[in-house]
């Protein structure tokens, strides 16, 4: 297992309060507090319509960052506590490393009453090393440079339901990569051709989304398909001019009781003159697990995955499992798309039912690639 994956050695401790948001604190000794904590976290009872909130610390290590300490938070609810409304979620993650690197991540997927409006986005602020391998599918296995920099991201979709489960709306994207430094470079390393010393780019576009998923953290019988484009240029305040097109389709079908077959096909295609940090990236904790996000980058990416989930086992109320396979490739001006160039990855995972009333699991996935493996611990399914 490679230490270059920042999330490859994550220890997850559920060690802070996880209670319905509206529950009142009760007084008592420390033993009663601990008992109440585990009752609230692991108990089967409670009001299914009540919001849920959990905090938990994380711990990771890599030679580039030394020890990393973080805190993650998750808040889930249904608008107006009406369970016919889709489950909304807010996630937060803050971290600090012994190399004075830090960051704050905020993600959300929010539905209004009767699911009429959907707000879906993420925000990032971090100073954290980026491992750069080069551009194209022939980039070398070893890291060519560790790039230090200050990274800001704000991505938001504001979508309105125009037909049952069909949403149309505005997509916004702002990304800034500044204060760039190249360290630990490989012999003969050349800086990226576009945006080597950083850039600021803002995009505006339109999106069409069909989404009938009721619980995005654990879809069981649903269909999701997003088609969008974002245009970046001087008119929006971008340093570079380019257009990004995204197609993301997912299907979830129950096979037997408590089992789900999930599949995803994803494509990201870029035209124009994008900086290196805004090329399509292969890898990450959701799609092409086992590869570092950005291990391969180029103008275009196409990838797909299938996963079979048992949630939970027939002999257990809490534990389940999954197996998954994926394949993907990047391609661009110097490397045309080729069917034989797909990279495979696959693995398996365990599941633990964290919030029974809301059907939310914690997942522990182990993924294997031609270059190594990765371990991922998160709340909610990968896709």
pLDDT of residue 65: 79
Q: What does DSSP assign to residue 277?
A: G
Going from the N-terminus, what domains does the chain have, and what CATH number goes with each?
Answer: 11-379 (2.40.160.50)
Q: What are the residue ranges in the chain where pLDDT is below 50?
A: 1-24
CA distances from 148 to 76, 100, 152, 185, 200 (A): 34, 12, 13, 12, 16
pLDDT tens figures, 250-263: 999 999 999 999 99
pLDDT in tens, 272-319: 999 999 999 999 999 999 999 999 999 999 999 999 999 999 999 999
At 342, give phi and psi (nearest 5°).
-70, 135
pTM of the model: 0.88
């Amino acid at each position: 297992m490679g230490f270059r994956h920042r999330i490859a050695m994550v220890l997850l401790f559920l060690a802070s309060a996880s209670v319905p948001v509206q529950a009142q604190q009760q007084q008592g000794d420390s033993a009663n507090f601990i008992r109440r904590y585990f009752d609230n976290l692991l108990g089967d009872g409670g009001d299914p319509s009540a919001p849920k909130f959990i905090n938990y610390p994380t711990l990771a290590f890599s030679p580039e960052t030394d020890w990393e300490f973080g805190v993650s938070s998750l808040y889930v609810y249904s608008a107006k506590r009406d369970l016919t409304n889709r489950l909304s979620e807010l996630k937060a993650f803050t971290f600090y490393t012994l190399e004075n690197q830090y960051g704050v991540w905020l993600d959300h997927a929010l539905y209004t009453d009767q699911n009429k409006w959907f707000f879906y986005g993420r925000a990032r602020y971090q100073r954290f090393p980026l491992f750069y391998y080069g551009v194209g599918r022939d980039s070398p296995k070893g890291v060519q440079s560790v790039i230090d920099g200050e990274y800001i991201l704000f991505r938001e979709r504001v979508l309105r339901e125009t037909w049952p489960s069909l949403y149309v709306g505005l997509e916004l994207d702002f990304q800034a990569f500044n204060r760039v430094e190249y360290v630990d470079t490989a012999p003969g390393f050349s800086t990226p051709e576009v945006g080597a010393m950083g850039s600021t780019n803002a995009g505006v576009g339109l999106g069409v989304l069909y989404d009938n998923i009721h619980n995005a953290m654990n879809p069981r019988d649903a269909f999701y398909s997003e088609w969008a484009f974002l245009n970046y240029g001087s008119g929006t305040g971008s340093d570079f001019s380019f257009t990004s097109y995204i197609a993301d389709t997912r299907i979830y079908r129950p096979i037997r009781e408590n089992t789900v077959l999930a599949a995803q096909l994803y494509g990201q295609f870029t035209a124009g003159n994008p900086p290196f940090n805004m090329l399509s990236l292969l890898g990450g904790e959701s799609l092409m697990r086992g590869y570092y996000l950005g291990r391969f980058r180029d103008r275009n990416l196409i990838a797909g995955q299938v996963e079979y989930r048992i949630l939970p086992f027939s002999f257990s109320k809490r534990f389940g499992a999954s197996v998954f396979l994926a394949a993907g490739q990047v391609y661009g001006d110097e490397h045309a798309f080729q069917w034989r160039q797909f990279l495979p990855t696959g693995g398996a995972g365990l599941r633990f039912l964290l919030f029974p009333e809301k059907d939310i699991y914690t997942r522990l996935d182990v993924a294997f690639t031609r270059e190594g493996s990765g371990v991922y611990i998160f709340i909610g399914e990968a896709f």
